[in-house]
Each structure stands twice: as structure tokens, then as C-alpha cells.
Amino acid sequence: MNNYSGLIQTIALYALPVLFAITVHEAAHGYAARHFGDNTAWALGRVTLNPIKHVDLMGTILIPLLLYFATSGAFLFGYAKPVPVNFGALRNPKRDMVWVALAGPAVNLLQALLWGIVFYLLLGAGVTEPFFLKMCQGGILVNVVMFVFNLFPLPPLDGGRVLVGLLPHRQAVLVSRIEPWGFFIVMALVLAGVVSTYWLLPLMGLTYDLIDLVLSPLAALVR
């Protein structure tokens, strides 16, 4: 019974932040691709803020639920439906794929800042309702995790595409060949604790420091 109660509370707190985080992340990829010459996502209606277009039944709902019950909430993982991008249609494929890949994590960092601003505005307005304050904190956490995790330098994650775009041609081809197995390699590294220990936690700490620095003037005003 406690598991179900905890699950309901978790869903209530994180539903809105997660939907915003994945929707804007995927839409940003599509918008950036269109800006640089590829209309694939636009033609398929994926450059949209409608979350239904980006939610993947297995990756966004079923896998996180199964992991929640299997690990008692200690480990959660999920993914959205990737926006299709034809990198060959970009005006400068090797250079532009970097910007298309960075667009998703960039808007997650922006959303983390926006949730932080809302948090301090609520405090400044005298709002003490824990639900709304915890939702803002959840919004920051979700977006910081998405920002850092997606920058992990292994295809098909955004960081892997950035790496392919920055490397010389020969090395870029070698790295890109990992992509068909990249998801399974990343999952194995996640389950082994490598990603969290050597990438996620250290970079999340730095990202939180950056957010605190940017929001420090607003935080000082409401104290």
C-alpha cells in the first residue's frame, strides 16, 4: 500500500515537469533541424509542444513504472520518442548535427533555470504550500538529469552526436558505428553505476552550482 501511495505522490509531483522536459527537449531538436535545413520532423508534425506526439508507451510510461516497483524508487530510467532527423539534409551535416544535438539539452538547462525562478517567485509571494515548491524542485531535478545524461558522449545520446560532429572524419565514422548498440552499452554502464559515479553525479553538482550562481540575485531578494 505504501508503494502505491508513494507512486501516486511521485506521479503527481513529477508529471508536469517530466512532460514539459521531454516535450520541449524533442521539439527543440526538430526546430533546430528545420532551422539548419531538415524538414523531416516538421513534416511529420513532431515540432510541437503536444506531449502525446513525443511520449513513448514503453520508454516514457512502462519502463519507469517497472523500475519504480523493482527498485522501490531507487532507480528510474525512461526515454521519449526520438524526433526523426535526416542529418544528410542539413546544410552542413557535420557541423549542424552538433547544434541540432545540443538544442535538446540546452532547453533542459533553460527549463531548470525557469523552474528555479518560479520557486523563488513563489517564496517571494509568500506561498508555503509544499506541493508547489516540491514540484519546482522536481522540475529543476528532472531537467538537470536530462541535461547531463543526454550529454554523455556515446551515440545515440545527444553527447554522442556532438562528439561525432566534432571529431575528424575517420574517428567520427568509428564512433558513429557504435550507435546500433549504443543504447545497450549506455544501459549496461548505468546499471553498473559507471554513468552515475563518473558522469551524472559530478556534472549534476556542477550544473546545480551554475543554477545557484545565476539565481543568486533572485534568491537574495526573497530572503
Which long-range contacts link 83-88 to residues 24+ away (Cβ below 8 Å)? 83/26, 83/27, 83/29, 83/30, 83/33, 83/41, 83/46, 83/47, 83/54, 84/40, 84/41, 84/44, 84/46, 85/29, 85/30, 85/33, 85/38, 85/40, 85/41, 86/33, 86/38, 86/40, 87/38
The pLDDT value recorded for residue 61 is 76
Distance CA 219, CA 126 (A): 14
pLDDT score at 187: 84
Q: What is the pLDDT of residue 193?
A: 87
- Known active-site residue 179: no
Residue-wise pLDDT for 101-123, tens only, equals: 999 999 999 999 999 999 999 99
State the catalytic residue, choosing from 14, 20, 25, 26: 26
pLDDT in tens, 152-187: 999 999 999 999 999 999 999 999 999 999 989 988
Residue segments in the chain with a per-residue pLDDT below the cut of 50:
none
**The amino acid at 94:** K
What are 186's three cell numbers? 549506455
